[in-house]
Amino acid sequence: MTDPHNPNPDPLLHSEVQQASLAGYISGYTLTVVFLGIGLLITQLHGLQPAPLLVTISGLAIFLLIAQCMLFFGLDVSRYNIWKTVSLILTVPLFILSIGLTVWMFHALGPVMAMPEMPGMPLQPTVLQ
């Protein structure tokens, strides 16, 4: 924590330095390795159908990303980190729009693209071809 009235404070006393957490980093590391190991195990054992398996590993990734935000980046709503947290929350819709909508749109095109070609009526070229 710095004193705003002191122009040359010790940089090591800054809240950004002092927020480093041994327990947090080790927890983040352990959680990530263990849960990615679990993800590897369930995909290799083929215990689930493809669709539920995809949902499970996607949920696992989202859980790990949230855990890393808290344990690695130290995001919270304290006055030192609130703007990082807010800017991330405001960026999340952009991730959803850019990845989710793009993939959904092209997957919706899939059945159209896979239609058999009718005699004398060639398929229109698209960006996928």
Partner 1 sequence: MDAHAKHEGPLPPLWHYGETEHDPISTKTLGFWLYMLSDALIFAGLFAAYGVLDQPMNAAGGPGIAKIVHPVAAFWQTIAVLSSVLAYSLATVALKTGNRNGVLAGIIAAIVLGIIFVGLEFADFASLFAIGATPDTSGMLSAFYILVATHGLHMMFGILWMLVLIPQIFLSGFNTAVVTRLLNLRLFWQFQASVWVCVYVFVYLRGTIQ
Q: Which residues bind partner 1 (CB under 8 A)?
A: 2, 4, 7, 11-12, 14-18, 20-22, 25-26, 28-29, 32-33, 36-37, 39-40, 43-44, 50, 53-54, 57-58, 60-61, 64-65, 68-69, 72-73, 80, 83-84, 87-88, 91, 94-95, 98-99, 102-103, 106, 110, 113-114, 128
Q: How far is CA 75 from CA 21, 60, 79, 94, 125, in A?
A: 12, 19, 11, 19, 47
Contact 50, 22 (CB under 8 A): no
State the nearest-atom distance from the C-beta of 61 to partner 1, in Å: 4
Beta bridge partners of 121: 118
Q: Which is nearer to partner 1, 117 or 128 (CB)?
A: 128
State the nearest-atom distance from the C-beta of 20 to partner 1, in Å: 4
Contact 16, 80 (CB under 8 A): yes
* Strand, helix or coil for residue 1: coil
